[in-house]
Structure 1
């Protein structure tokens, strides 16, 4: 039996780790350190401070906020 493919924001995680060289746990910690900033403020910070693409930044922020019940 094969495992179901990962869907949603988490599907970006392997490529984010490969491209930016940091584990997702570090990116999530960085997002959490900026609470109570809003979703798009967090996305913009990742884009501006780390030259991250919009899709990757949005995936990290969306997954972190949902995981913390803030979505």
Structure 2
């Protein structure tokens, strides 16, 4: 059903795109370009260098890292 509510980190994505004016793909690419940094280092980078709030930064990092783990089959 298309009425199914988005859950988890992706639920923040519409707000992130609206607030910061960049598509999620851009933020994910930025996170990946900073690897192999640790989760909280990536969150801090988004907060300090891009003025992102903690919840938004954490959502992007968590989703990106989980996506990469899934692709790697881990």
Asked if these proteins are the same fold (TM beyond 0.5), I'd say yes
Q: What is the Cα deviation at residue 35 of structure 1?
A: 0.6
Unaligned runs of 5+ in 2: none
Q: TM-score, normalised by structure 2?
A: 0.91
In the alignment, the residues of structure 2 paired with residue 49 and residue 38 of structure 1 have an alpha-carbon distance, to the nearest angstrom, of: 16
Alignment RMSD: 1.6
* Length-normalised TM-score, structure 1: 0.95
Aligned partner of 1:24 in structure 2 is 24
Aligned residues: 71
Runs (4+) off by over 6 Å: none
| Structure 1 Cα separation of the partners of residues 61 and 29 of structure 2 | 11
